[in-house]
């Protein structure tokens, strides 16, 4: 069952399943399936994926590659390596830069897809290059960050397409036991420093983990607030803000104005913890994070998507803004 491979613990059976441990085998398996016209679902840690109750009829390929090499201040990581293992390995090697991204679930191949970011640091800030398999041309290519389409919030050329498979990622870090300047005010406050100051990298990691744990963003099998994909809805980026949403926190974005989806959800009448009295109580917003739609233990994907549509419709009615998913939806949709 795909529910066993996703952090939301949802999804029906796979037609076929293969865990692949080398990049060569990964490319060969996908090429073979594509040549045969077989549907393929490539996944890593399953931390940003919602799969329908009917599952996936084709081939599910779990990327389980494990290579991680340090060359001076450059670190090359194969796509299947658990992300937090990368962070701790770099800290152990005396390299700074990734510590604000501590505790994020999933595997390394997903970091450029989502342009994963937290506490003022983005993947694109530290990315040097990556290796990509293009399923359309059948070629393996080396890409610079400029080719990834980063820019607007959480966007990249990899988002919501299965054309490209990330094979490995290289980061350019700094040899130091002190962090880069801390730009996120909440993290700086937790560390007891002024925004823009630095701190010991280990202290930054500890502070980030504490903040993530407080908001239910550290995976815990016994805590249903963490049975989620993290932020289910993406912060909307608009060219103009409806008058109804004028009080919503706003941030500059290359594509316009970014609004806080969490604020919109909360002020549309859906506070943290909402949903325990909705339906049979199997789906609810996290009690610690309004953007996290959570499986309370035995939810179905159909229930999750119906609940998400309920939130989406409520926000649209209140603010004339339609929220979209930040996660990837496979064989499921709102409604």
Interatomic CA distance for residues 101 and 148, integer angstroms: 20
Of 268, 40, 217, 202, give the one whose Cα is nearest residue 135. 40
Interatomic CA distance for residues 2 and 54, integer angstroms: 10
Task: Name the pLDDT band for 217 (thresholds 50, 70, 90).
Answer: confident
Q: Where along the chain do its domains lie?
A: 2-63, 68-133+151-214, 224-330
Instruction: Please tell me whether residue 144 adopts helix, strand or coil conformation.
Output: coil
Neighbours of 212 (CB within 10 A): 21
Residues 269-279: tens digit of each pLDDT: 999 999 999 99
Task: Name the pLDDT band for 67 (thresholds 50, 70, 90).
Answer: very high
Do 20 and 26 form a contact (C-beta atoms < 8 A)? yes
Residues 124-169: tens digit of each pLDDT: 999 999 999 999 999 999 999 999 998 766 778 998 889 999 999 9
The two three-digit tokens of residue 64, written as one number: 């389980």
The CATH class that applies to domain 68-133+151-214 reads alpha beta
Interatomic CA distance for residues 162 and 40, integer angstroms: 9
Q: What is the pLDDT of residue 253?
A: 87
For domain 2-63, the question of CATH label 2.60.120.260 is answered with no
**Residue environment code for 172-191, b if the CB has 16+ CB neighbours within 10 A, otherwise e:** bbeeeeebbebebeebbebb
CA separation (Å) from 39 to 22, 35, 47, 207? 21, 10, 21, 42
Q: Which residues are catalytic?
A: 154, 231, 326
Percent of the chain with pLDDT over 70: 99
Q: What is the pLDDT of residue 291?
A: 93
Q: Is the pTM above the cut of 0.95?
A: no
CATH topology of domain 224-330: 3.90.78
- What are the φ and ψ backbone dihedral angles of 89, each rounded to 5 degrees? -65, -40
Q: What is the pLDDT of residue 292?
A: 95
Residues 8-25: tens digit of each pLDDT: 999 999 999 999 999 999
Instruction: Please tell me whether residue 331 adopts helix, strand or coil conformation.
Output: coil
Residues 165-190: tens digit of each pLDDT: 999 999 999 999 999 999 999 999 99
How is residue 326 annotated by DSSP?
Answer: S
The two three-digit tokens of residue 194, written as one number: 């002024």
Give me the mean pLDDT over the 77-104 stretch.
Answer: 98
Q: What is the pLDDT of residue 245?
A: 97
């Amino acid at each position: 069952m795909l529910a066993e491979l996703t952090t939301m613990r949802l999804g029906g059976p796979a037609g076929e399943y293969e865990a692949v441990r080398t990049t060569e085998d990964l490319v060969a398996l996908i090429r073979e399936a594509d040549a045969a016209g077989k549907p393929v679902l490539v996944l890593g840690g399953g931390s940003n994926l919602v799969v329908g109750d009917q599952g996936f009829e084709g081939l599910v390929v779990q990327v389980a590659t494990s290579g991680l090499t340090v060359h001076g201040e450059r670190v090359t990581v194969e796509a299947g390596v658990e992300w937090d293992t990368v962070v701790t390995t770099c800290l152990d090697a005396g390299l700074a830069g990734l510590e604000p991204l501590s505790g994020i679930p999933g595997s390394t191949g997903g970091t450029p897809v989502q342009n994963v970011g937290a506490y003022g640091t983005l993947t694109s800030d530290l990315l040097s290059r990556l290796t990509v398999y293009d399923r359309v041309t059948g070629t393996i290519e080396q890409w610079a960050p400029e080719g990834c389409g980063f820019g607007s919030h959480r966007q990249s050329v990899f988002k919501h397409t299965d054309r490209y498979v990330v094979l490995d990622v290289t980061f350019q870090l700094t040899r130091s036991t002190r962090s880069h300047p801390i730009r996120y005010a909440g993290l700086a406050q937790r560390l007891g420093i002024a925004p823009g100051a630095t701190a010991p990298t280990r202290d930054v990691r500890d502070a980030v983990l504490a903040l993530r744990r407080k908001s239910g963003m550290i995976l815990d099998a016994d805590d249903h607030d963490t049975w989620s994909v993290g932020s289910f809805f993406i912060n909307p980026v608009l060219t103009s803000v409806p008058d109804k949403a004028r009080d919503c926190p706003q941030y500059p974005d290359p594509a316009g104005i970014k609004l806080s989806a969490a604020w919109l959800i909360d002020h549309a009448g859906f506070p943290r913890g909402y949903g325990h009295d909705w339906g049979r109580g199997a789906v609810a917003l996290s009690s610690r994070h309004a953007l996290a739609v959570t499986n309370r233990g035995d939810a179905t994907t159909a229930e999750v998507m119906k609940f998400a549509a309920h939130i989406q419709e409520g926000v649209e009615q209140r603010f004339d803004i339609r929220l979209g998913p930040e996660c990837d939806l496979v064989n499921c949709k709102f409604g």
